[in-house]
Chains A and B, each alone.
Chain A
Amino acid sequence: MMNKIENKNNKTKRYAANILLAAVFIVVITLIDQNLIGDQYIKRVLNLSAIYAIVAVSMNLVNGFTGLFSLGQAGFMAIGAYTVAVFTVPINYRASIFYIVPQNQVLAQIHLPFFIALILGGLAAALVALLIGIPVLRLKSDYLAIATLGFSEIIRIVFTNLKTITNGALGIKSIPGVSTWVIFIVAILSIVLIALLINSTYGRAFKAIREDEIAAEAMGINLFKHKVMSFAIGAFFAGIGGGLFAALLGTVDPKQFYFTMTYNFLLMIVLGGMGSITGTIISSFIVTFGLEFLRFFDEPLAMFGYNITFFRAGFRMVIFSILLMILVLFFRKGLLGQKELSWKLISNIFKGKNSNKKSNKGGAA
Chain B
Amino acid sequence: MSVLKMDNVVMKFGGVIAANNLNIEVEKGKIVALIGPNGAGKTTAFNVVTGVYNPTSGNVYLNDEKITGLSPDKITNKGIARTFQNIRLFSELTVLDNILIANHLQVKSDFISCALRMPWAKKEENAMREKSEMLLNKLGLLHLKNEISSSLPYGEQRKLEIARALATDAKLLLLDEPAAGMNPHETNELTNFIHTIRDEFGLTVFMIEHHMDLVMEISDKIYVLDFGQLIAEGTADEIKNNPRVIEAYLGVEEDAEN
Contact = CB atoms under 8 A, between A and B. Distances in A.
Interface of A: 193, 196-197, 200-202, 204-205, 207-208, 211-212, 214-223, 229, 233, 338, 358-359, 361-365
Given A201-B125, A215-B89, A362 B151 contact: yes
Interface in B121-153: 121, 124-125, 128, 148, 150-153
Given A363-B151, A364-B157, A211 B92 contact: yes
Contact of A338 (B84, B92, B102, B153): B92
Given A208-B90, A362-B150, A363-B91, A221 B115 contact: no
B130 to A, nearest CB: 14
Pick the most buried of B103, B114, B116, B152: most chain A CB atoms within 10 A of its CB.
B114
Nearest to A230: B111
Given A201-B100, A201-B107, 6 more contacts: A207-B90, A212-B89, A215-B88, A215-B90, A218-B73, A358-B148
B128 A201 contact: yes
Nearest to A198: B115
14 contacts: A196-B116, A196-B117, A197-B114, A197-B115, A201-B100, A201-B114, A212-B89, A214-B88, A218-B84, A219-B101, A223-B73, A364-B152, A364-B157, A365-B86
A200 B76 contact: no
B71 interface: yes
B50 A200 contact: no
B221 interface: no
A219 B168 contact: yes
B151 A208 contact: no
Nearest to B78: A220
Nearest to A365: B87
Contacts of A220: 73, 76-77, 81, 102, 104-105, 168
A358 B165 CA distance: 26
Given A200-B114, A208-B90, A218 B81 contact: yes
B82 interface: yes
A218 B86 CA distance: 14
B78 to A, nearest CB: 9
Task: Specify which of A200, A216, A338, A359 lies most central, judged by the most chain B CB atoms within 10 Å of its CB.
Answer: A200
A357 B141 CA distance: 22
A217 B115 contact: no
Contacts of B97: 204, 207
A211 B111 contact: no
Nearest to B153: A364
Given A201-B104, A218-B81, A358-B151, A365 B89 contact: yes
B118 to A, nearest CB: 11
Contacts of A215: 84, 88-90
Given A200-B115, A204-B97, A211-B91, A221 B73 contact: yes
Contacts of A218: 50, 72-73, 76, 81-82, 84, 88
B164 interface: yes
B90 A211 contact: yes
B164 A219 contact: yes
Nearest to A208: B101
A197 B111 contact: yes
Contacts of A193: 115-116
Contact of B150 (A200, A214, A216, A364): A364
A196 B115 contact: yes
Contacts of B249: none
Contacts of A221: 73, 101, 104-105
B120 interface: no
B57 to A, nearest CB: 24
Q: Which 5 A-B pairs have the closest CB atoms?
A: A220-B105, A362-B151, A220-B76, A200-B114, A211-B90
A196 B118 CA distance: 12
Nearest to A338: B92
A205 B165 CA distance: 15
Contacts of B87: 365
Contacts of B193: none
A212 B76 contact: no
B201 interface: no
Given A197-B111, A359-B148, A204 B100 contact: yes
B72 to A, nearest CB: 4
B182 interface: no
A271 B243 CA distance: 64
Contact of A201 (B72, B76, B103, B148): B103
A205 B105 CA distance: 9
Contacts of B114: 197, 200-202
B162 to A, nearest CB: 13
Contacts of A361: 151
Nearest to A359: B148
A355 to B, nearest CB: 12
A215 B89 CA distance: 7
A215 B157 CA distance: 14
Nearest to A363: B150
A219 B148 contact: no
Contacts of A229: 111
Given A193-B115, A220-B104, A359 B93 contact: no
For B87, B151, B168, the residue with the greatest tally of chain A CB atoms inside 10 Å of its CB is B151
